[in-house]
Structure 1
Amino acid sequence: MKTLLLSLCFLFFFAISAAQDQDLRVFDTNGDQLKAGEKYYIVSSIRGAGGGGLFLSNYSAGGCEITVVQSGNDLYRGIPWSFHPPSPEQAFIYVSQSLNVKAANPPASCTNATSWSIGTLDSASGGLLIQLTGTRGFPSCTTYQNWFKIERGRFSDTYKFVFNPVDICSPATENFNLSLAFPSGARTLVLPFDKNTISFDFEFFKAEGSSNKAYVQ
């Protein structure tokens, strides 16, 4: 009887652990868990008037294609991105964990950086632009601006990005949704100064064999 109870307890806690792990996983539109280093499109979860995917623009960057923006075309998925947790040994991506977001095909001009970072203040939108000025890896208080988290979105099977790198640098207690701003007709991804700003909710599409390098001018 005691052995049976121990076995049932083990199965119970195993089931809870499996459910918790399932809740922390991030999935693409095929239902597959996101893999670290694989290429994905980041596309708006709103169909019709929500716009398309994220790519790079020279908006507010002196001609350099380093600012992360969203396409206004619902059919355009943008450019591929990859996700990299602090540990290079980690194979999969989970919610609420800081990671680097890397351009799969970064532009060769203007910068040697490849990853998202908190960029310059955009006076038109009043937010801080998300720009390709970060470096991958080296989690510390000197690189905390390069780390973002994926969290659950407002709708089923959607996600959002937040800036809350407390697991990278404990004094960095910010917790802001990344949102879209629309200054001068652009759709810029920004870190707003209002914590209550509605997030940019999106889905991940696997970018298999993509060589898409279409940046806007």
Structure 2
Amino acid sequence: MTNTNNLISAEFELYDERMDHLLAGTPYYVYPADSGRGGVMWSYEENSTCYAVRQAIDDLPPNKALIFNHAEPQERDWLVASKDLNIKYEDNLFCDSSSTVLQVNNVDEATGKHFITTGGVEGNPGCGTVNSWFQIEKVIGLYTYKFVYCPSAVCDLVDTCKDVGLFRGAGGFQHLVLSDDNYPMLMRFVKANPCPSNVETSSRVTRYL
């Protein structure tokens, strides 16, 4: 694992693995930066009204694409690092919650973790929607990124700033959570067309990891 103390973050343009600008409103599959691990996917949690967000096992592709939208209107659709975004699944998940927007859930008493789930609020940035805003930051490696929860720009009453990492839960599944140990999930983005099952890992990405 790579400690975030050694990672680079800055406000600059973001790119997918084909070296195209990452665009707001466009669906992307989220893959881990290192090979041998699966992409970001959803799964239903028993006795839950929302879907948990997990990492797929082994090299399985993601089962839904994600869409990123700016907190505030922008002059262009390009995404840049360290700006607040809504992240949502492109399709309905047939969840009891009608929202496919990702959010930081309340702390889980059994694990002490804040899990990332669906059920967030789209748009309307402010303290009332503070759990629904994330950022993308650049890290070491070509087109390698991490999700960050750092919503002080949308609500100055909140000073939390944490990476989104992984927590191994029941059944060995890796859940996306707020990280307490500075070890984020490192990721890359693949535009949702072609189908993820046909997407080959780019040598441009893996060569620099």
Taking structure 1 as the reference length, the TM-score comes to 0.78
Residues 88, 114 of structure 1: CA spacing in aligned structure 2 closer, same or farther, 3 A cutoff? Answer: farther
In the TM superposition, residue 58 of structure 1 has moved relative to its aligned partner by 1.6
- Look up the match of 1:133: 119
In the TM superposition, residue 156 of structure 1 has moved relative to its aligned partner by 3.2
- Look up the match of 2:142: 156
Q: Which has the higher contact order (CA 8 A, sep 6+)?
A: 2
Gaps of 5+ in 1: 1-21, 213-217
Larger radius of gyration: 1
Q: Secondary structure at the match of 1:178?
A: strand
Q: Distance in 2 between matches of 1:211 and 1:64?
A: 27
- Look up the match of 1:105: 91
- Structure 1 segment 57-136 matched on structure 2, within 5 A: 57-59=43-45, 61-62=46-47, 64=49, 66-89=51-74, 90-123=76-109, 125-136=111-122
Structure with the higher helix share, 1 or 2 = 1
Q: Distance in 2 between matches of 1:66 and 1:23?
A: 31
In the TM superposition, residue 64 of structure 1 has moved relative to its aligned partner by 4.8
- Look up the match of 1:46: 34
RMSD, aligned α-carbons: 2.2
8 Å Cα contact 2:65/2:90 also seen in 1: yes
Percent identity of paired positions between Structure 1 and Structure 2: 27
Bigger mean CA deviation after superposition, 33-42 or 105-114: 105-114
How many corresponding residue pairs?
186
CA distances 1:78-121 after superposition (whole Å, capped 9, x unpaired) = 31000000134541211000000010113123111120111143
Give the partner amino acid of 2:178: L
Does 1:170 find its partner at 2:156? yes
In the TM superposition, residue 74 of structure 1 has moved relative to its aligned partner by 1.4
Gaps of 5+ in 2: 1-9, 198-209
In the TM superposition, residue 122 of structure 1 has moved relative to its aligned partner by 3.4
Q: Secondary structure at the match of 2:71?
A: coil
